[in-house]
Amino acid sequence: MGEHRGDTRARIQAVALELFAEQGYEKTSLREIAERLNVTKAALYYHFKTKEDIVVSLFDDQLGRLDELITWGREQPATQETRQELVRRYADQLYASGPGLMRFAHENQGTMRDLAVGEKLKSRMKGLRELLIDPKAPLTDQLKSAMAPFTLNIAHFAFDDYDITDEERRAAGIAVALELVSGSPHTDA
Amino acid sequence: MGEHRGDTRARIQAVALELFAEQGYEKTSLREIAERLNVTKAALYYHFKTKEDIVVSLFDDQLGRLDELITWGREQPATQETRQELVRRYADQLYASGPGLMRFAHENQGTMRDLAVGEKLKSRMKGLRELLIDPKAPLTDQLKSAMAPFTLNIAHFAFDDYDITDEERRAAGIAVALELVSGSPHTDA
Amino acid sequence: MGEHRGDTRARIQAVALELFAEQGYEKTSLREIAERLNVTKAALYYHFKTKEDIVVSLFDDQLGRLDELITWGREQPATQETRQELVRRYADQLYASGPGLMRFAHENQGTMRDLAVGEKLKSRMKGLRELLIDPKAPLTDQLKSAMAPFTLNIAHFAFDDYDITDEERRAAGIAVALELVSGSPHTDA
Amino acid sequence: MGEHRGDTRARIQAVALELFAEQGYEKTSLREIAERLNVTKAALYYHFKTKEDIVVSLFDDQLGRLDELITWGREQPATQETRQELVRRYADQLYASGPGLMRFAHENQGTMRDLAVGEKLKSRMKGLRELLIDPKAPLTDQLKSAMAPFTLNIAHFAFDDYDITDEERRAAGIAVALELVSGSPHTDA
DNA sequence: AATGAATGAGTATTCATTCAT
DNA sequence: AATGAATGAATACTCATTCAT
């Protein structure tokens, strides 16, 4: 008893993220989270108003950083260099947040739609996509650009049976994402 | 009364797929499915042993066709042409099953992991991936190949705000998937 | 096991009324009701959609009869005789429903306001009151008329320590209610 | 900050009475009260030992005054004049306490029974009733006398849709209560 | 081919209360 | 005079599943 003090809120977030990523949001019960922390369910409610509120808190930082990224992108010229830099910065943010959040968002896409925070995240991703896409390019090139953000996720999960480091996965992901966003050799004539 | 006869099983599948795709597997209750069909929950249990069993039945055809595709692929030489044909045939299968199944699998990835059918599907996708990938190619090229199947899904959902037809989406998806699977100009020396 | 068949719904109503009247609606939990009936809580939900729904079902007949009474009253001339007959018929209805419902409504007035059925009952009582009141009479006479329905309730609870029969209570209640509704000897000049 | 000092106890009472009257005792939570006052729940516990204790404090003055009234009544001769004076004094007390307490007691009769203070109030009301009733009078007259205290409450709530002042309501209530307590023209011979 | 009735285990959420600081 | 953190017990309600008919 009394081993932890003041950090309960953070511990709830950590355990919740872990379990949400591992088993999904719906299938993770507050009882489970509470038990892992050796607190009562009611204690969770002291720190968060609802179950959804925990998720909101998890995405809060990430959303803020995404906003900044998009704002930055909008101020830049709509060039290939900008798009490449956007991919690089987005990758940095993604890896900074740790793998849990990525996985959570990836595997709970259905659930996220019902959560308010899901809508927010989706609108940010759309904002990012619009910056990555050259609207005058052919549809196939636009699709490739739209896929760039996914690439980073997929790179992480696709080669789970390969004997390579996370660093290699990451490098491959960024390389492909950059290529996808760079379009055909000469977009304009 | 008596409007439907003998087709109850199929009607259950149709409604279940619709609801699973729309709201997710966990959040769709058997009560909901039963109510939409004007039957009792117990009737569902006459036709399917469990809730999961409904999902299994939904993927049954798809899995069978995937098996055939993989078997076919294994008999072909591991050339770029084979890989491109695999992409084309996979796309045909995907579009033949309608958009519901695609969406279901895409948005419920977390849930699928717990379902036996999810494991099966995943192992098939891995089999397909192995055929699409040239193990001697650089990691980035391998990643691009691995992404090809995803491309078809993403093509469908990424441009929901564009004013284009499903046919155009599909064409773009296949084009990009083919490109991804085709690797760099000269894979071998 | 299996002692009762087909009557579960009615047994739930009986026990619920008993407990609601005895302890109040809020303080009576579904667990309590279920335990007294030796069924699970879920069984209650098979028969009633919500806790409030149980109350609704309890008042259903009563409300219907009240409606009929008011309809009848509106077709009669607005005379003292009509008002007296309304009181008599209302009393009959009240006593027919048994004492539980009376007591429930009386002691849970606050709660009833939040329940939809409470609003309905209140509007019926207002309809009845309007028939009992002579709008041209002095305010004090109107108040006396408005009190008539309460009289019947009060007669039941006021003399709980007297050694008299329910029949005597009832007779006294009706007598006073009739007097209250009859106004001053000569209302008009 | 620092707007109120020393008056917290009184502010708790005021808000509690308001909410109890508005929503009922059971349905008003201490959290709600605390939030309205911008204090924590624990602060309430500094001023009151339990939730019930808040109610007790609300009725304290009222109970004391009722005691005095009854003591006074017992010292008077059991005449009609005494009874009328009891009604007048009781009305004064009731109106002095404001409408909240009246309404609280009226709408939470069920709840009051479980609270110790409810028993106390009930016993006082019985004491008052005994003074208002002439035990030698016919049962109907006794019932009318017993109703007198209720009249004052009913007068307040019955005509909520009338366009009259509280003062008029009050006057009518007292007038009818006096009449009820005065019995038939010639009670004795 | 289906229903009516029920269960057991679970869910998120709320509440009055406590206590060290 | 009050807070921050937490508890234990409760609540209404839902779900997948079962089974006799």
Domain end, chosen from A32, A49, A66, is at A49
Out of A129, A158, A175, the one facing B146 most closely (by C-beta) is: A158
Same domain for D132 and D175, yes or no, is: yes
Nearest nucleotide to the CA of A27, by C1', is E11
Nearest to C154 by CA among C113, C107, C111: C107
Answer whether residue C76 is part of any domain.
Answer: yes
Nearest nucleotide to the CA of C31, by C1', is F11
- Domain that residue D57 falls in: 52-182
Residue A188 pLDDT: 45
**CATH number for position D22:** 1.10.10.60
Same domain for B111 and B126, yes or no, is: yes
In the block, residue with structure tokens 């391998």 = B142
Q: Say how many C-beta atoms besides its own lie within 10 A of residue B65's C-beta.
A: 18
Answer whether residue C87 is part of any domain.
Answer: yes
Q: Which of residues 75-134 of D touch strand F (CB under 7 A)?
A: none
DSSP conformation letters of A110-160: HHHHHSHHHHHHHHHHHHHHHHH--TTS-HHHHHHHHHHHHHHHHHHHHTT
Same domain for D42 and D61, yes or no, is: no
CB contact under 8 A, B24 and A111: yes
Answer whether residue B187 is part of any domain.
Answer: no
CB contact under 8 A, A154 and B140: no
At residue B180, does pLDDT exceed 50? yes
Q: Among residues of chain C, what percentage have pLDDT more than 90?
A: 71
Same domain for D174 and D100, yes or no, is: yes
Q: Out of B150-154, C22-26, D173-177, pick the least confident.
A: B150-154
Q: Is the CB of B52 under 7 A from strand F?
A: yes
Same domain for B88 and B105, yes or no, is: yes
Residues from chain C contacting residue D179 (CB–CB below 8 Å) = 140
Which residue's alpha carbon is at the shortest distance from the C1' of F8?
Answer: A40
Domain count, chain D: 2
Which residue's alpha carbon is at the shortest distance from the C1' of F20?
Answer: C2
**Euclidean distance between CA atoms A136 and A142, whole angstroms:** 9
Using CB atoms, list chains with 3+ pairs below 8 Å to chain B. Answer: A
Residues from chain A contacting residue B129 (CB–CB below 8 Å) = 158
C1' (F14) to CA (A34) span, angstroms:
21
C1' (E5) to CA (B20) span, angstroms:
28
Write out pLDDT tens, residues D138-154. 999 999 999 999 999 88
Answer whether residue D148 is part of any domain.
Answer: yes
Answer whether residue B112 is part of any domain.
Answer: yes
Q: Are A53 and A62 in contact (CB under 8 A)?
A: no
Residue D156 pLDDT: 83
- Give the distance from residue D102's alpha carbon to the nearest chain C alpha carbon, in angstroms: 13
Nearest nucleotide to the CA of B28, by C1', is F15
Residues from chain B contacting residue A19 (CB–CB below 8 Å) = none
CB contact under 8 A, C154 and D139: no
Q: Is the CB of A16 under 7 A from strand E?
A: no
Q: Which residue of chain C comes nearest to D112, CA vs CA?
A: C107
Residue D188 pLDDT: 45
Same domain for A139 and A156, yes or no, is: yes
CB contact under 8 A, D143 and C154: yes
Tell me what the mean pLDDT of segment B165-175 comes to. 92
**Model pTM?**
0.89
Answer whether residue B157 is part of any domain.
Answer: yes
Q: Say how many C-beta atoms besides its own lie within 10 A of residue A11's C-beta.
A: 16
Answer whether residue D187 is part of any domain.
Answer: no
Same domain for A123 and A43, yes or no, is: no
Same domain for D34 and D115, yes or no, is: no
Same domain for A105 and A134, yes or no, is: yes
How far is residue D79 from each of residues D73, D142, D143, D183, measured CA to CA in Å? 10, 14, 17, 11
Q: Is the CB of C29 under 7 A from strand F?
A: yes
Q: Which of residues 43-82 of C touch strand E (CB under 7 A)?
A: 43, 45-47
Same domain for A16 and A96, yes or no, is: no
Write out pLDDT tens, residues D151-181. 998 888 888 888 899 889 999 999 999 999 9
CB contact under 8 A, D155 and C144: no
Answer whether residue D158 is part of any domain.
Answer: yes
- Give the distance from residue C37's alpha carbon to the nearest chain D alpha carbon, in angstroms: 24
Write the DSSP symbol of residue B67: H
Q: Is the CB of D52 under 7 A from strand E?
A: yes
Q: Which long-range contacts (CB under 8 A, 24 or more apart) does D110-115 make?
A: D110/C23, D110/C24, D110/C27, D110/C107, D110/C108, D110/C111, D111/C24, D111/C27, D111/C110, D111/D24, D111/D25, D111/D26, D113/C107, D114/C23, D114/C27, D115/D25, D115/D52, D115/D55, D115/D56
At residue C185, does pLDDT exceed 60? no
Q: Name the stretches of chain A with pLDDT < 70.
A: 1-6, 184-189
At residue C14, does pLDDT exceed 60? yes
Q: Give chain D's length.
A: 189
Same domain for D31 and D79, yes or no, is: no
Tell me what the mean pLDDT of segment D128-133 comes to. 94
Write out pLDDT tens, residues B61-99. 889 999 999 999 999 999 999 999 999 999 999 888 877
Tell me if residue A16 falls in helix, strand or coil.
Answer: helix
CB contact under 8 A, A143 and B150: no
Q: Is the CB of A1 under 7 A from strand F?
A: no
Residue A2 pLDDT: 44
Same domain for C45 and C78, yes or no, is: no
**Euclidean distance between CA atoms D189 and D170, whole angstroms:** 33
CB contact under 8 A, D143 and C164: no
